[in-house]
């Protein structure tokens, strides 16, 4: 089975990856506070206030969130993670991207190295559907497909929800 959602490509790209999901706001700086200092192939979420993600490895993952929160220092985190090789593969936002996330991810894209793919406005239904460990395919057009075992059927999410 697969579920398809359509968002707005902020930093477009075609990637696949494994989902990690936060249903509350994602505090960028608190999450990566301990991951930006020493080169590592891991980025263990250090935000003890995030019950969904605390202790999970976010490196190379597709992070699915409503929005980002917390310190504006979080803007500089993305470029550092890219440099250290433990950045997430993509950031997927159910809401319109917030200024803190937009600024940081765009600076990292234009002044840094490789791209973290960013899609926003995927809708609440996306965040309700996606769960930790889901295999995701993200298209350059902002399409996101959640692949589940028992593939063969396809369930199209309501577009009005996905674009809310």
Partner 1 sequence: MAGEEANLRLTPQEEDVLAGSDGPVAQKVMRTVVQYGQALGAERLVDISGEGHLVIAYAIPGTGPSLEMLEELVAAGLTTKYPFTLDPRPPLDYDNWALDRQQVAVLDGMYRDQARYEDLLLRLGARDADAYTCRPFLEEVGNIPKRGDILAWSESACVVWANSVLGARTNRNGAIMDLLCNIAGKVPLSGLLDDGARRATWRIDVKTGDLPLPQLLGAVIGRRVQAGVPLVTGLDRFLDAGLDAPTRDYLNELGTACATAGAVGLFHVEGITPEAVEQGTGILARAHRTYVVDDDVLADLAASYPVLWRDGDARPEKCYLGCPHVSLEQIDWWARRITAALQERRQPRIKVPTTLCAAPQTLARLGAAGSAWRDLQAAGVMLSAGCPMQLFDNDLAVGSAIVTNSTKLRTYTNARFFPDRRIVEILVDGEI
Contact residues for partner 1, defined by CB under 8 A = 8-12, 24-25, 27, 29-30, 32-34, 36-37, 48-49, 66-77, 79-81, 83, 96-104, 106-107, 110-111, 120, 141-142
Q: Give me the least distance between CB of 89 and partner 1, in Å please.
A: 18
CA 154, chain centre distance (Å): 23
Q: Give me the least distance between CB of 133 and partner 1, in Å please.
A: 25
Nearer to partner 1 by Cβ, of 81 and 116: the residue is: 81
Nearer to partner 1 by Cβ, of 77 and 116: the residue is: 77
Q: Give me the least distance between CB of 130 and partner 1, in Å please.
A: 19
Distances (CA, A) of 11 to 28, 76, 146, 154, 155: 18, 17, 19, 26, 26
SS3 of residue 43 by DSSP: coil
Closest CA relative to residue 92, chosen from 114, 49, 125, 70? 125
């Amino acid at each position: 089975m697969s579920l398809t959602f359509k968002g707005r490509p902020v930093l477009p790209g075609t990637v696949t990856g494994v989902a990690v999901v936060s249903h509350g706001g994602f505090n960028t700086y608190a999450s990566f506070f301990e991951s930006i200092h020493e080169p590592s192939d891991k980025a263990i979420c250090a935000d003890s206030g995030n019950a969904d993600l605390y202790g999970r490895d976010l490196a190379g993952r597709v992070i699915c969130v409503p929005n980002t929160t917390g310190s504006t220092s979080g803007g500089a985190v993305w470029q550092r993670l890219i440099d250290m090789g433990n950045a997430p593969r993509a950031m997927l936002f159910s809401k319109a991207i917030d200024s803190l996330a937009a600024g940081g991810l765009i600076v990292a894209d234009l002044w840094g190295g490789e791209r973290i793919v960013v899609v926003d406005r995927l809708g609440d239904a996306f965040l309700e559907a996606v769960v930790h460990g889901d295999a995701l395919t993200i298209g350059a057009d902002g399409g996101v497909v959640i692949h589940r075992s028992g593939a063969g059927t396809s369930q199209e999410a309501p577009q009005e929800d996905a674009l809310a």
